[in-house]
Amino acid sequence: MLKKLSILVIALGVMVSLAACGTKEETKPANAGAANQQTANSASSDGNSTAKDGNSTAQDGDASAEARTINYLGQEYTVPAKVEKIVITGSVESMEDALVLDVKPVGALTMGGSFEPLFAGITDGAVAIGEKTQPNLETILKLAPDVILASTKFPAETLEKLGKVGLTIPVSHISTDWEANLKLLAELTGKEGQSDEVLKTYKQEAAELKEKIGPTLQGKSVLMIRLRSGSMMIYPEDVFFNPSLYGDLGADVPEEVKQAKAQQMISLEKLSEMNPDYLFVQFSEAENKDKPKALEELQSNPIWSSINAVKNGNLFVNIVDPSAQGGTAYSKIAFLEAVKNSKLAEAK
């Protein structure tokens, strides 16, 4: 016990000097996985690590103190044989995966000072550990997690600081890594069978829906935009809901989407020029606090009303929860279900 208390005191002293770090929306830090792997392995395998000592007093000699190795996106991580305490910071993707697999983290990120209503089912017993871009390291330390699920959006220095608190795995924010992300959480929590069934069911239902709506989408212009700070954003082909829209459901990829390298703002005039036949719009109040009337103002603009999708009743606003990230199992399942129940799926 004395050993545990002394190490926690030292660690807390270190934490006081650490500043919360921000992040950029679409930027993946260079060598984040490799850099963090060193801190992750150190935190999990060093018998003197802060996180391990925080958990080991009552478990020395137990089977739960044993370790195993898992592989995630080409990196190996040494984790406890039984992972019971997970903290999720920065990675909304992991929050959505936890929703699918019914995993309840001991600590979870907040947005705007509170847990998103979308995650109510898994955060009822969780401790708030800081905003999406600002993890509270001292709070995380007190929770003594077995694993910290961070985000590849975090800069390398933030991942390094988290690695000193406990075993940290940076979870990809890239939409095309959605299967690997779900399998990671499943392997950590012993829910591989559940994740396999989720993936099998989704792929089967996506293939069926693609076959059904293929004739409807053939030769049509289909676009999804996201309103942020009052501005319209489009995304690359492999970001946001685009993999579902263009890959899983087979819509043609607009040239502007092909050329986008990251989140990209477009004007209403440019949208009118693109003139999509089907338009999906995601609008979250939390992302438009300074311009809460942005969507209403768009919809009252004559240029907006002239767009084919709007004129012909093929506009879909918040077809899924606007806080959904798009490139996760939860987002893809929710989007598929919404499209299946929309006029897009009506027999022609």
pLDDT tens per residue across all 348 residues of the chain: 333 333 333 343 433 333 333 333 443 433 444 444 444 444 444 433 433 444 443 344 444 458 999 999 999 999 999 999 999 999 999 999 999 999 999 999 998 889 999 999 999 999 999 999 999 999 999 999 999 999 999 999 999 999 999 999 999 998 899 999 999 999 999 999 999 999 999 999 999 999 999 889 999 999 999 999 999 999 999 999 999 999 999 999 999 999 999 999 999 999 999 999 999 999 998 889 899 999 999 999 999 999 999 999 999 999 999 989 999 999 999 999 999 999 888 855
**Spatial CA neighbour of 83 closest among 98, 96, 100:** 98
Query: Is the Cα dihedral 93, 95, 100, 101 positive or negative?
Result: positive
**Spatial CA neighbour of 138 closest among 10, 11, 15:** 15
- Which residues have C-beta within 8 Å of that of residue 160, sequence separation ≥ 6? 35, 36, 39
- State the Cα–Cα distance between residues 98 and 68, nearest whole angstrom: 21
- State the number of CA atoms in the 13 A half-sphere of 227 facing the CB: 25
From-to residues of CATH 3.40.50.1980 in the chain: 2-190, 215-345
Is residue 329 within 8 Å of 198, Cβ to Cβ? yes
The pLDDT value recorded for residue 247 is 94
Which tokens sit at 198? 């989720």
Query: Is the Cα dihedral 35, 40, 46, 49 positive or negative?
Result: positive
Q: Which residue has the tokens 């767009």?
A: 307
Q: Please, what is the Cα angle at 224 between 102 and 30, to 5 degrees?
A: 70
Residues in the chain: 348
- State the Cα–Cα distance between residues 149 and 256, nearest whole angstrom: 34
Q: Which CATH superfamily does the domain covering 2-190 fall into?
A: Nitrogenase molybdenum iron protein domain (3.40.50.1980)
The pLDDT value recorded for residue 65 is 55
Burial class (CB in 10 A: 0-12, 13-18, 19+), 62: exposed
**Spatial CA neighbour of 327 closest among 19, 59, 1, 96:** 96
The pLDDT value recorded for residue 40 is 45
Name the CATH topology of 215-345: Rossmann fold (3.40.50)
- State the Cα–Cα distance between residues 64 and 62, nearest whole angstrom: 5
The pLDDT value recorded for residue 109 is 96
